[in-house]
């Protein structure tokens, strides 16, 4: 018999508090966020009217939207709230469907994603965090570099690899998940080619297949990537601190809809296993609604809904 490896599931053990100024919202930070994230997206939106009618149709948008929602919820409900944090138990078919849906987002296989994210929570904004925007320092130049790093560069530049044995031993024991993880390459191909096939068959043209591939495949994946990465970069830099945390996680309202509720990231770090991240009045959390629907259908059980007392204890007094 081997001994069970140490898990890092939302461990309350943390490295000493980071020696950083908790008030990091300077104008420099905001301008940097704008340039790195919003300008490329605005450029993409500006391209839409030029392409409309000949290189982009409602059909491309519809195909892209469907794949965005499936992949996005696969990440938020599946990879994040279920597999990483165990905020609910899922019946086996749902568990498998969530692992496949999340893989369609092309953010890495489920086991790697979960291992990286658990390490992020363990060391949030301290040494050891795979993607903290504060890793280079507090002045605006360091934050600019940090934002870019947290947003995407960590995936290319970091030589560190999170150990799945150390951070995701529970997933490694699940044969179905190991299989889905191994098939990640095939799921990526499907995610990119299925929109092309659907677009081609509906329009019965190669051009229809191409535009559906471009908008429903490539652009959809890029948009979802930016939204997911924004939770790592923007939601650890600017926004509101409604709950007490030891890191720099913040609630960012304008990302709530595209991120399916994940941008209520300050609450998430305050109470990581909670199935609902948008717990305050008016905080829309689509992923929590979906989990609620799964619970009603009997597919999800033991859902960890917000606990009023626990939340009140962590609420920042205003
Ligand atoms: Zn975080
Ligand atoms: Zn998390």
Ion ligand 1 neighbours (CB, 5 A) are 249
User: 281 CA distance to ligand 2 centroid (A)?
Assistant: 21
Nearest CA to 235 out of 218, 247, 252 is that of 252
d(CA 296, CA 301): 9
Average pLDDT over residues 114-122: 93
Q: What is the pLDDT of residue 7?
A: 46
Identify the three-state secondary structure at position 301.
strand
The band of 2, judged by pLDDT with boundaries at 50, 70 and 90, is: very low
Ranges of H-type helices in 124-205: 140-148, 154-157, 164-167, 169-172, 175-182, 184-203
Helices (H) and strands (E) in the chain, counts: 16, 2
Residue 236 has pLDDT above 50, yes or no: yes
d(CA 287, CA 260): 5
User: 232 CA distance to ligand 1 centroid (A)?
Assistant: 6
- Residue 157, in any domain of the structure: yes
User: 220 CA distance to ligand 1 centroid (A)?
Assistant: 23
Q: What is the pLDDT of residue 159?
A: 73
Instruction: Tally the domains of the chain.
Output: 1
- Residue 138, in any domain of the structure: yes
Q: What is the pLDDT of residue 152?
A: 77
Phi-psi region of 173 (alpha: psi -120 to 50; beta: other; left: phi over 0): alpha
Query: Mean pLDDT score of the chain, rounded to an integer?
Result: 87
Q: Are 40 and 222 in contact (CB under 8 A)?
A: no
3-state helix, strand, coil in the chain (%, to 5): 60, 5, 35
Q: What is the pLDDT of residues 33-76, one digit of tens each?
A: 566 556 767 777 778 877 787 889 999 999 999 999 999 999 99
Residue 122 has pLDDT above 90, yes or no: yes
Q: Which ligand is closest in space to the CA of residue 265? A: 1
- Residue 1, in any domain of the structure: no
Range of the domain at 208: 8-314
- Residue 2, in any domain of the structure: no
Show the CA angle centred on residue 129, arms to residues 127 and 130, nearest 5°: 125
- Residue 268, in any domain of the structure: yes
Buried b / exposed e over 173-188, threshold 16 CB at 10 Å, is ebeebbebbeebeebb
User: 236 CA distance to ligand 1 centroid (A)?
Assistant: 6
16 alpha carbon, distance to own chain's centre: 26
User: 14 CA distance to ligand 2 centroid (A)?
Assistant: 15
Which of 124-138, 146-160, 208-222 has the least mean pLDDT? 146-160
- Residue 220, in any domain of the structure: yes
Average pLDDT over residues 208-224: 92
Angle of helix 184-203 versus helix 220-233 axis, rounded to 10: 140
d(CA 28, CA 124): 22
- Residue 37, in any domain of the structure: yes
Structure tokens belonging to residue 105:
């987002």
- Residue 208, in any domain of the structure: yes
Average pLDDT over residues 269-286: 96
User: 121 CA distance to ligand 2 centroid (A)?
Assistant: 6
Higher pLDDT, residue 300 or 14: 300
Q: What is the pLDDT of residue 37?
A: 56
Nearest CA to 125 out of 291, 266, 262 is that of 266
User: 112 CA distance to ligand 2 centroid (A)?
Assistant: 14
Q: Which ligand is closest in space to the CA of residue 80? A: 2
Q: What is the pLDDT of residue 299?
A: 98
Show the CA angle centred on residue 126, arms to residues 74 and 124, nearest 5°: 25
Report the length, in residues, of the chain.
318
H-run or E-run covering 90: strand 89-90
Q: What is the pLDDT of residues 195-213, one digit of tens each?
A: 999 999 999 999 999 999 9
């Amino acid at each position: 018999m081997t001994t069970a490896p140490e898990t890092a599931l939302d461990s309350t053990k943390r490295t000493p508090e980071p020696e950083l100024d908790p008030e990091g919202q300077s104008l420099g930070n905001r301008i940097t966020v704008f340039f790195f994230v919003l300008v490329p997206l605005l450029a993409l939106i500006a391209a839409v009217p030029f392409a409309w009618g000949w290189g982009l149709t409602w059909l491309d948008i519809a195909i892209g939207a469907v794949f965005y929602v499936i992949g996005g919820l696969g990440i938020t409900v599946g990879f994040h709230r279920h597999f990483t944090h165990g905020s609910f138990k899922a019946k086996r078919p749902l568990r498998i469907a969530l692992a496949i849906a999340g893989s369609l987002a092309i953010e890495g296989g489920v086991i790697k994603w979960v291992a990286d994210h658990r390490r992020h929570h363990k060391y949030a904004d301290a040494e050891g965090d795979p993607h903290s925007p504060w890793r280079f320092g507090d002045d605006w130049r360091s934050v600019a570099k940090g934002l870019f790093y947290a947003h995407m560069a960590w995936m290319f530049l970091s030589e560190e690899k999170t150990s799945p044995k150390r951070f995701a031993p529970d997933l490694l024991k699940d044969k179905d998940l190991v299989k889905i993880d191994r098939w990640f390459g095939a799921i990526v191909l499907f995610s990119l080619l299925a929109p092309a096939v659907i677009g081609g068959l509906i329009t019965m043209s190669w051009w229809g297949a191409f535009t559906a591939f471009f908008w429903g495949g490539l652009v959809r994946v890029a948009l979802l990537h930016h939204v997911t990465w924004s939770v790592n970069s923007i939601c650890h830099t600017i926004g509101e601190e409604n709950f007490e945390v030891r890191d720099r996680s913040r609630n960012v309202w304008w990302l709530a809809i595209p991120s399916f509720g994940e941008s209520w990231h300050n609450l998430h770090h305050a109470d990581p296993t909670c199935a609902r991240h948008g717990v305050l009045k008016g905080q829309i959390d689509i992923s929590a609604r979906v989990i609620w629907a799964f619970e009603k259908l009997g597919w999800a059980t033991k859902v960890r809904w917000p606990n009023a007392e626990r939340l009140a204890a962590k609420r920042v007094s205003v």
